[in-house]
Chain A
Amino acid sequence: MKTLFYVEDDDLSREILDMIVEDMDGYDLITFTDSSDFVSRVNQLPESVVLILLDIHLKPYDGFEMLKMLRQQDRFRDVPIIALTASVMNEEVNRLKQAGFNGAIAKPVDQDNFPGLIDEVLVGKSIWSIISHIE
């Protein structure tokens, strides 16, 4: 089982992603309700995480601070970290790129496209799926 982490304070967003991953064979999703939740629980969790999805508007640490903290730990240094955000203005995307995110997925999430994106990230690609033309 490949484990994905998702830090998100919006209940509906966590529920949707739970349902999407539920439908993906071989993947397991652990969600955190906030950055404080993540920080308090992360050490008790299995180490086999393959991907971390971060909302940006988090508390008390926002997405960028989270990224910074994660990159400082050996455990998460090489784990791809993807921003999952509703803020898709150019300057925000550029900030994400410069901060060192491996990609970004715009909200609303395209559930049909999502598994393919995860596959791409796991083979080492950057994904910047910020234009969410959902069909």
Chain B
Amino acid sequence: MASITAPRTAPVSDDVPTYIPTQSAYLRSIRTPLLLVIVLSVIVPAVLVAAISSAVNINNATNRAYEQMETVSTLKVSQIGFWVNLLEDEANAIAVDDEHLLLVRQAEPNSAFPTLRDQAQADLDLLYTQALFQTTQFESLDLIANDGKLIAGTERRPLLFQPVDAPQPGEIVIIGPLVTEGELAMAAWYPVFDGDRFLAYFGGAVSMDALYDILQDQTGTGEGIETFLVDAEGHIIASGEDEDLEDDHVHVLGETTVDFMASLDMSDNSLVRISEFDSHTGEDTFGVVDNSLPLDTLLVTEQAENDVLNAAYLSVLGSAAVTFAAVLIVIVLGVFFIERRIVRPLKTLSTTANQVAGGNLTQRAVVNRADEIGVLATSFNTMTDQLQGLISGLEERVELRTRDLQLAADVSTKVTTELDPDQLLPELVEQVRSAFRFYHVSVFVYDPKTDTVDLKAATGEAGAQMLTVGRSFNLGRGDTGVVPTAAKTLDYCLANDVTKSEAHLPNPYLPDTRGELALPMIVGDQLVGILDLQSEQANRFQDDDIRVLGTLADQIAVAVRNAQLFEVVQDALASAEQANSVKSHFLASMSHELRTPLNAIINFTKFILKERMGPITERQADALDKVKTSGIHLLNLINDVLDISKIESGSLALIVDNDVDIPHLIDRAAATTDVILADKPVALKMDVAADLPPIIGDKQRILQVLLNLLSNACKFTEEGSISVKGYQDGDNVVVQVKDTGPGIAPEDHYKVFEAFQQTQTGLDQASGTGLGMPISRRLAEAHGGSLMLESAVGEGACFTLTLPIASELLEVEDA
């Protein structure tokens, strides 16, 4: 899985790109989010539960601490209550004694027996001293009037007494504990009544040892709980801890505590819980304040916060440790699970996918699970199966197409190599039949003269028989069948099941035909013929086949058309060759047959003109001269026609010598001009270099060219001059013949060298054959040279003959 999102790295194999998970990809692996989900789903509730349970734990611990402190507080209050009752009982036991009562009546300030007062006071002093030994809780015993005056007693001083508005019988008045004169003190006063009449208070300083004992007693109160008494100013009056009272028994609680205590509303509740206040010890503390003491003080019970919560904290710590351990186990198991059950199978699947991508289509993923990954692997295998099927199907199609193309190529080769239709068509039909495994293949060729398609090639024994008998469809007459239908519509005609087709005509030679397809063979928009295909199976022809076969039909059409054209050309060529041969033969015969009588005409005329047969008159000579000239003209005509004929048939052969003397040939040609020029005012100017080298060439032919150039110049020049220049130009010998004749218009120059194309001036001069210049140019070219014309109307003409000294075209013959 990781590999899919991984960046492409350099391919390791030739073409197949492979995905390699990189280090960073490992971090992006699916295991990271999965793990995160698992861990979060474990940690969050675990932490929540731990937090809640911790809070509950702490709350419970606090509550328990409070309850414990309340219990302790209540216990202490009740113990102190008992103690106060003990004080009452002791005071009461002495007070209500009859002797004591009598003495008090006598000693009190309002006594009815004032005389007895002093005695009574003395007796009381004695009595109290004796009684002091018997009491456990009093440190002094005195009798005090309501106005505070001491009547009698061990101390004989008023101690810790405050007057009471309306003393009630049996109600002991407790003063303190309080700090007085730097000392902590406490007193208890018991009202003494005579009947309903209040007499005086009896009591004294109280020993606070018992109180201390009560506060110090920690039996059953648990560790760390302290109790102490606090007065309204925040002084600690009494405490369970001795050290608390070391400094003159006075400790003042922290100021914030004092304020806090003052703010407490104790009106309704005897017990109030306080928390997190600064104790005199400086620690954060929980506590309970109790105002139900029968004393003028509050009872504070406290416990250090740490003592209370340590246990809770410990339990929180424990549960946190357990949670952490659980999370750790979950992570380890999660990693194991993800790796084993998700990542590893996905990696395996990914490797398989890469192999498939690399072309190994036989590779399949291992499916051994029913979960989503198993489903994925199954889907992957299904996909690969389809891919493999697709590719192998593709290969099959490619194979088919390759065969088609091969066939098309073969046909093309046939088309270009085999031009004989009688050879071509039988091979084509056989090739198509075997390539496509058809039952029968035939080609009909369209004949526009008869408007028929005629069977020209067909496969097999049946084909041979049909060809012998002949098979033809007339399109004009409206013949029916698959073949004529295709021919008429110029579109294919298909009978995929001949039993159901109306177009198909049963053919006795082909009894097994079940399907027939006729494809028109068309070149341009002209019907060439029909390619007829027959199959032994119904529905053999599908769209694909029809397309390919249609292309094939077009190709065969081109082949047939080419062959037809080739036939036409062959015929034309044969007749042309025949005609040419006839012409050559005719020319040769004509030449031969004309020369013999011309031999007699020209020579006898010359003999007579030379008066070999006796004297002749001037008129006779004149007439005979015309006969001679005409004879020579006729001879020249024959020669020129023969030359042109040779040139055009390519049979002009030069008789080559290696010592052709150009100046000599020029002289010989120039010698003939006298006769032609006769008495015309034309000067012949010769300028031929004496040291021209001999050249390789045909003497007679070069002379022929020079004669032609000079006679041409003479003929067309009525006055002026003819200049003949001969010189060497590099590897060439150049002969220039320039006249002052009428000249030739540039647009007519081509005509000069074109056979049977005389210029107007040439036509005006009836004496030429019009073949001299064309022959001369061809002769010059046959030597590897050239013949060029420079001329304009009115400026004369200049012909330049250039001949190579040693032409590469010529070979000197051994003679």
Nearest residue, chain B, Cβ from A129: B700
Q: Which of A116-135 contact B (CB under 8 A)?
A: 126, 128-135
Nearest residue, chain B, Cβ from A128: B655
The answer on a CB contact under 8 Å between A16 and B604 is yes
Given contacts A16-B604, A94-B653, A129-B700, contact A109 B599 (CB under 8 A): yes
Q: Verify if A71 is at the interface (C-beta below 8 Å from B).
A: no
The answer on a CB contact under 8 Å between B603 and A109 is yes
User: Which chain A residues lie closer than 8 Å to B651 at the CB level?
Assistant: 90-91
Kindly supply a per-residue 1/0 record for chain A positions 48-89, scoring 1 wherever the CB is within 8 Å of any chain B CB and 0 otherwise.
Answer: 000000000000000000000000000000000000001111
User: Which chain A residues lie closer than 8 Å to B602 at the CB level?
Assistant: 108, 134
Q: Verify if B10 is at the interface (C-beta below 8 Å from A).
A: no
Q: Verify if B336 is at the interface (C-beta below 8 Å from A).
A: no
The answer on a CB contact under 8 Å between A131 and B596 is no
The answer on a CB contact under 8 Å between B612 and A19 is yes
A98 to chain B, nearest CB (A): 10
Given contacts A12-B600, A129-B700, A131-B639, contact A106 B655 (CB under 8 A): no
Nearest residue, chain A, Cβ from B643: A131
The answer on a CB contact under 8 Å between B588 and A89 is yes
The answer on a CB contact under 8 Å between A108 and B635 is yes
Q: Which of B686-717 contact A (CB under 8 A)?
A: 700-701, 703-704, 707
Alpha-carbon distance between A107 and B631 when the two chains are bound, in angstroms: 13
Q: Verify if B46 is at the interface (C-beta below 8 Å from A).
A: no
Given contacts A19-B612, A90-B652, A108-B602, contact A133 B595 (CB under 8 A): no
User: Which chain B residues lie closer than 8 Å to A88 at the CB level?
Assistant: 591, 595, 642
User: Which chain B residues lie closer than 8 Å to A106 at the CB level?
Assistant: 595
User: Which chain A residues lie closer than 8 Å to B591 at the CB level?
Assistant: 86-89
User: Which chain B residues lie closer than 8 Å to A97 at the CB level?
Assistant: 655, 813, 815
Given contacts A90-B652, A126-B815, A135-B675, contact A13 B646 (CB under 8 A): no
Given contacts A12-B599, A106-B595, A135-B632, contact A87 B588 (CB under 8 A): yes
Q: Verify if B78 is at the interface (C-beta below 8 Å from A).
A: no
Q: Verify if B340 is at the interface (C-beta below 8 Å from A).
A: no
The DSSP consensus for interface residues of chain A is: loop
The answer on a CB contact under 8 Å between A133 and B639 is yes
Alpha-carbon distance between A13 and B635 when the two chains are bound, in angstroms: 16
Size range of the interface on A?
20 to 34
B410 to chain A, nearest CB (A): 45
Given contacts A19-B612, A133-B707, contact A86 B599 (CB under 8 A): yes
The DSSP consensus for interface residues of chain B is: helix
A126 to chain B, nearest CB (A): 6
Q: Verify if B235 is at the interface (C-beta below 8 Å from A).
A: no
The answer on a CB contact under 8 Å between A130 and B700 is yes
User: Which chain A residues lie closer than 8 Å to B588 at the CB level?
Assistant: 87, 89
Kindly supply a per-residue 1/0 record for chain A positions 94-115, scoring 1 wherever the CB is within 8 Å of any chain B CB and 0 otherwise.
Answer: 1001000000001111011000
Given contacts A106-B595, A132-B639, contact A16 B600 (CB under 8 A): yes
The answer on a CB contact under 8 Å between B700 and A89 is no
User: Which chain A residues lie closer than 8 Å to B636 at the CB level?
Assistant: 133
User: Which chain B residues lie closer than 8 Å to A135 at the CB level?
Assistant: 632, 672, 675
* Partner pick for A89 among B600, B646, B815, CB 8 A cutoff: B646
B367 to chain A, nearest CB (A): 93
Q: Verify if A29 is at the interface (C-beta below 8 Å from B).
A: no
User: Which chain A residues lie closer than 8 Å to B646 at the CB level?
Assistant: 89-90
User: Which chain A residues lie closer than 8 Å to B607 at the CB level?
Assistant: 16, 19, 111
Q: Verify if A7 is at the interface (C-beta below 8 Å from B).
A: no
Q: Verify if B606 is at the interface (C-beta below 8 Å from A).
A: yes
Q: Verify if B488 is at the interface (C-beta below 8 Å from A).
A: no
User: Which chain A residues lie closer than 8 Å to B184 at the CB level?
Assistant: none
Given contacts A86-B591, A88-B642, A134-B632, contact A93 B707 (CB under 8 A): no
B419 to chain A, nearest CB (A): 32
User: Which chain A residues lie closer than 8 Å to B672 at the CB level?
Assistant: 135
Given contacts A108-B635, A128-B655, A135-B672, contact A10 B596 (CB under 8 A): yes
User: Which chain B residues lie closer than 8 Å to A112 at the CB level?
Assistant: 606
Q: Verify if B598 is at the interface (C-beta below 8 Å from A).
A: yes
Contact sample, A vs B, 30 pairs, CB 8 Å cutoff: A12-B599, A16-B599, A16-B603, A16-B604, A19-B603, A19-B612, A86-B593, A86-B596, A87-B591, A88-B591, A89-B646, A90-B653, A107-B595, A107-B599, A108-B595, A108-B598, A108-B601, A109-B603, A111-B606, A112-B606, A126-B815, A129-B700, A130-B700, A131-B639, A131-B704, A132-B635, A132-B639, A135-B632, A135-B672, A135-B675
A residues neighboring B (CB under 8 Å)? 10, 12-13, 16, 19-20, 23, 86-91, 93-94, 97, 106-109, 111-112, 126, 128-135
- 14 new A-B contacts, CB < 8 A, other than A89-B642, A107-B596, A134-B635, are A10-B596, A12-B596, A13-B596, A13-B599, A87-B592, A88-B642, A89-B591, A108-B631, A109-B603, A128-B700, A131-B701, A131-B703, A134-B602, A134-B632
4 shortest interchain CB distances as A-B pairs: A108-B599, A86-B595, A12-B600, A16-B603
